[in-house]
Structure 1
Amino acid sequence: MAISTQMLDSDDDGSLWNIEGFSDAEPDEQAILRALAKTARSNGIPPPPAKIDLVPPKDWVAGNLADFPPIAVGRYFIHGTHFDGKPPAGAMALKLDAGPAFGSGEHPSTAGCLTVLDQLARRHQFRNMLDMGCGSGILTIAMAKTWRVPLVACDIDDEAARVTAANAVRNGVGNLVRACFGPSYRTPDVAKARPYDLIVANILARPLRVMAGDLACALAPGGVTVLSGLLKRDARLVLNAHRDRGLTLVRTVLIGDWATIVMRK
């Protein structure tokens, strides 16, 4: 079982993606190839190539110390547990564990979400929130520390859900966060807490489009959603998928080649 996964765009038009997974034990190569073949058949495509490489042991703390220095986005100051300095005066510190699921906020899609949360905090008080695709929990923690109300965090990766729960405790908001493992808005812990007045979904363009209807059903009238994890070239398709479900555009934040879309029901 993979303890961490990631998807990487490998060409200019977004038609090819690399999926990488890290495991703490040697995986069953034949089982992986069988699963890939079955999934490919069900989607009418050829099986993709796959390979398994042995990764030398890595000091994740040292690696993240070098690769992910503390950063500031709006009111938020994101740092690893290895950081022993003082956050800037008035900043809201988000402390994350260094490890395979570590997320620093440096990626433009995460930075876009944090920028929007900072803007929303100036005018809105939310009471029931959802972080769909929580990853390391960086956005979950930002939401919990900003509005101080209970929220649900969900991820298709069970390790991400575990890390989010641990990071929430580390940041003093464990009592506010219910982290769960599941693939969609129909995940039981997600479904039973709806409707939400704020939904943040930092995933990928295709699942955002596929789940637009379920998101609209989970969002309360007048509720706000923040959609991210998509390239600028995919923004129109994601926007239209949610417009078709009755949502209206509030604004779009662009950072490099990445877009973050804010919409209201």
Structure 2
Amino acid sequence: MSKKKSYKITWTGEREALELAGDALTELLWPAAGAISLTKNDATVEDGESAWRLDAYFEDEPEMDAVNALVAENGNITAGALEMLPDVDWVAHSLEGLGVVRCGRFVLYGVHDADKLPNDEGDIPIRIDANLAFGTGHHPTTSGCLTLLDRFAGWAPQSIFDLGCGSAVLAIAAAKMWGRNIIASDIDEDSVIIAAENAEFNDVAEKVSTLTAAGFDHPDIAAAAPFDFVFANILAGPLAELAPDMAKHIGKNGRVMLAGLMSEQESNVVSAYEKEGFRLINRLEQPTWPVLLFVKT
């Protein structure tokens, strides 16, 4: 499934600054900035090192001054150049060539990289093609969740929920690692369709049940609760707002993995969950996007 987008903005600069700019665009402009990719540029800068290029794709013509100002806050980055694109499969085009992503034993790839997969024993391959749903493994929130999830291979919860599933990469990873049935929901209907397609591509369609819902507001979710494990890779505001409902739908000693918050938002999210009887037991350090693991006491 794909849609056609019309505009691309390209910036060049140092990798670290562009990574921060890409995070900011994802946090503040997604889904308006529907696909964002960071690649090594063929051009050479004055210091002899290869420059990096950040591309952001938009359906509607963006306000260049505002977007450039947002990007410029993150370091020495050239002003973005706006390009009107022909009708193409814009997401596949933007993500093609980003390569295989390893997160612990999980190895994420697009169909165009299937021939590049490593053949290491114990790897869990997950095919996530370029599409409109958030979560290809290239963003640190997704890769961070997978890296932290990899530490729990020896523990197999019975009831699992991927809240705000996007591409369903986390639900697919859990289904492959634990062999359990999982509910994966998203508020966006297109994402739910893509999540179901991804589950089928990865041969776990019988284990991953996809549905459209906001938070815990669905009878199938209520029927499956209390959960032993919940993923919620969304945004800081909704994460904090969901804390009371999360407490109602997770059983004693159940775990919840939270991502999508930025480091400066962490204290507010932690406070919201501690207030509801959760205790922080693990944290994956990321420069901008930490991943938090709580247990319900």
Query: With structure 2 as the length reference, what TM-score do the two structures score?
Result: 0.71
**Alignment match, 1:101:** 133
**Corresponding position: 1:190 with 2:213:** no
**Alignment match, 1:128:** 159
- After superposition, where does 1:97-176 map in structure 2 within 5 Å? 97-101=129-133, 103-122=135-154, 124-176=155-207
Q: By how many angstroms is 1:108 displaced?
A: 1.1
Q: By how many angstroms is 1:65 displaced?
A: 1.7
Q: Which moved more, 1:249-258 or 1:127-136?
A: 249-258
Runs of 4+ residues deviating >6 angstroms:
none
The 3-state SS of whatever aligns with 2:224 is: coil
- Match of residue 249, structure 2, among 194, 218, 240: 218
Q: By how many angstroms is 1:82 displaced?
A: 1.6
Unaligned runs of 5+ in 2: 5-21, 35-58, 61-82
Q: By how many angstroms is 1:55 displaced?
A: 5.5
Unaligned runs of 5+ in 1: 28-52
Asked if the contact 1:87–1:93 (Cα under 8 Å) also holds between the matched residues in 2, the reply is no
Q: Percent identity?
A: 31
Asked if the contact 1:154–1:190 (Cα under 8 Å) also holds between the matched residues in 2, the reply is no
- Match of residue 178, structure 1, among 209, 230, 235: 209
Q: By how many angstroms is 1:19 displaced?
A: 4.6
Distance in 2 (CA, whole Å) between partners of 1:102 and 1:20 is 9
> For this pair of structures, how many residues does the alignment match?
228
Give the AA of the match of 1:79.
Y
**Alignment match, 2:271:** 240
Supply the RMSD in Å over aligned alpha carbons.
2.5
Asked if the contact 2:164–2:215 (Cα under 8 Å) also holds between the matched residues in 1, the reply is no
CA 233–69 in structure 1, closer or farther in 2 if over 3 Å, else same:
same
Distance in 2 (CA, whole Å) between partners of 1:196 and 1:248 is 16
Distance in 1 (CA, whole Å) between partners of 2:245 and 2:179 is 26
Q: By how many angstroms is 1:10 displaced?
A: 5.8
CA 238–178 in structure 1, closer or farther in 2 if over 3 Å, else same:
same
Query: With structure 1 as the length reference, what TM-score do the two structures score?
Result: 0.79
Distance in 1 (CA, whole Å) between partners of 2:201 and 2:241 is 34
**Corresponding position: 1:229 with 2:240:** no
Asked if the contact 2:216–2:245 (Cα under 8 Å) also holds between the matched residues in 1, the reply is yes
Distance in 2 (CA, whole Å) between partners of 1:135 and 1:147 is 20
